[in-house]
Chains A and B, each alone.
Chain A
Amino acid sequence: MPVLVAGGVATVAGVGMGLRKINNDNLPKVAVMTAAFFTASFIHVNVGPSTVHLMLNGLIGLMMGWVAFPIVLIGLLIQALLFQYGGLTTLGVNTLNVAGPAVLFGFIFHKSIYSVKFWPSTLSSFATGFLAIALTAFMVFVALILTDPVKYKVSAYTILVSHVPVMFIEGFVALLCVRFLRKVKPELLKDPLGFKG
């Protein structure tokens, strides 16, 4: 329970930061992009016998900065209401776990993905996708361990290990997506909705 409360408080703060960047002018655009990220999260990739769906939180962080918090919150809320994944009580922690790493690595790497040199841009765009999922999985792990170190030990480690292939997939998808966008519509990676202005 303290974990849920702490996650909720952090999420309220993050969403507050994000909402400050949203004004009447860019709100419709943010909504359309939220819908786009939400749709993209339905894309499944087969990994051996099972499938994983994309989260793209690295990309969301790169393009949206703090606004990742409201975007993820809305996405998870719609999921909870319509598909019954997750739930209302875990909304706070889940939003923090997905949006927190997005904001962090988006902030760290948003300049270096634009490097003209091959390796810096390749490595940093891969790292955005890879590390964002890695940190999300690690935060879920910590949340479970903090909730009850004995009961959820096996589940926590399973989540951590099972996300390793996901990290690589998200890393490659982030890398290839950034390359695609740099070729097709570079301004989409440079603060497209004017959050910093």
Chain B
Amino acid sequence: MAESENTASAPFQEGAGQNSSILARVDARVKIVCAVLWSLMVSWLHGTGGAWVALAAAVALIALARWPRRNLINRLLTVNIFFMFMWLMLPFSFSSPGHVVATIGPLKVTREGLDLATLLTLKGNAIVLAVLAILGTSPLYVLAAAGRRLRFPEKLVGLFLLTVRYYQVIFKEYQRLRKAMRARGFKLGLSRNSLRGVSNLVGSLLVRSFDRAERVHRAMVSRGYMGIIWVRAEFRLKGIDLAFTLVMLALFVLVGGGEWKR
């Protein structure tokens, strides 16, 4: 059986989009607001007209972000595997009221089903690309600091920052455990032994993490931890932030126009 989890379990790929592009210099607070509004607006769209415009806008944004091509292709593949399942199901989903375009055996392909699958794929890719271009160009800790400025709950911000930090440590621990198991000839599968191995792996990971958590906490307290995880990040609105906001507003209007004309 293939050890498929090797490819699936890539650690953080932060940094792929963090270059000196214009988007990287926009204030992270502005970015968060714009990314959320964009996601909300695009997921609201009902017609393929607006969705095509949104996708074009998202492609423009990702080009502006100068995202590395190889990394981008990998990410889009992951997302579109999900939409591939939609394409396998949705075209056959409208049995009674649809316009039948083709029949495959007992299954009827309807125009409505195809339209819906197209719409979802366009919207999904438009959101992923734009959010990648907007948020992916800022380091996570800066986004967390911006979230703090936007009055996200302090505990949630701290939790996010520390989780991101310790995920990298715990993931290394996990890789060590996996390597030890592989060296003993362990294969992942659906047998009784395999599930026991997986459970022991999860159990060891939790035990080790818990012990580490105690040590981390003591180390933090002895360095003066008082409940706030400080991040060095300054926020000052500049001309570029105004320009970015205007561009995003223009895109909202364009997408809205595309939706209107359908």
- Asked if A103 lies at the interface with its beta carbon under 8 angstroms from chain B, I say no
The residue that B202 contacts in the complex, of A40, A85, A88, A158, with Cβ under 8 A, is A40
Measured between beta carbons, the chain B residues less than 8 angstroms from A36 are 170, 205-206, 209-210
* Chain B residues numbered 63-100 whose CB sits less than 8 Å from any CB in chain A: 75, 78-79, 82, 86, 89-90, 92-94, 97
The residue that A32 contacts in the complex, of B94, B132, B170, with Cβ under 8 A, is B170
Docked Cα-Cα span, A32 to B169, in Å, equals 9
- Asked if B171 lies at the interface with its beta carbon under 8 angstroms from chain A, I say yes
- Asked if B199 lies at the interface with its beta carbon under 8 angstroms from chain A, I say yes
Interface size, A (range) = 35 or more
Instruction: Say what secondary structure dominates the interface of chain B.
Output: helix
Q: Are A35 and B131 in contact (CB under 8 A)?
A: no
CB nearest neighbor in A for B219:
A28
Measured between beta carbons, the chain A residues less than 8 angstroms from B199 are 172-173, 175-177, 179-180
Q: Report how many A-B pairs have Cβ atoms within 8 Å.
A: 219
Q: Are A173 and B167 in contact (CB under 8 A)?
A: no
Measured between beta carbons, the chain A residues less than 8 angstroms from B247 are none
Number of interface residues of B (CB under 8 A): 81
Q: Are B216 and A28 in contact (CB under 8 A)?
A: yes
A35-B209, A81-B140, A158-B89 as given contacts; A51 in contact with B158, CB under 8 Å: no
- Asked if A31 lies at the interface with its beta carbon under 8 angstroms from chain B, I say yes
Measured between beta carbons, the chain B residues less than 8 angstroms from A63 are 206
- Asked if B257 lies at the interface with its beta carbon under 8 angstroms from chain A, I say no
Closest 7 A-B residue pairs measured CB to CB? A24-B227, A31-B162, A176-B199, A180-B203, A36-B209, A32-B213, A29-B213
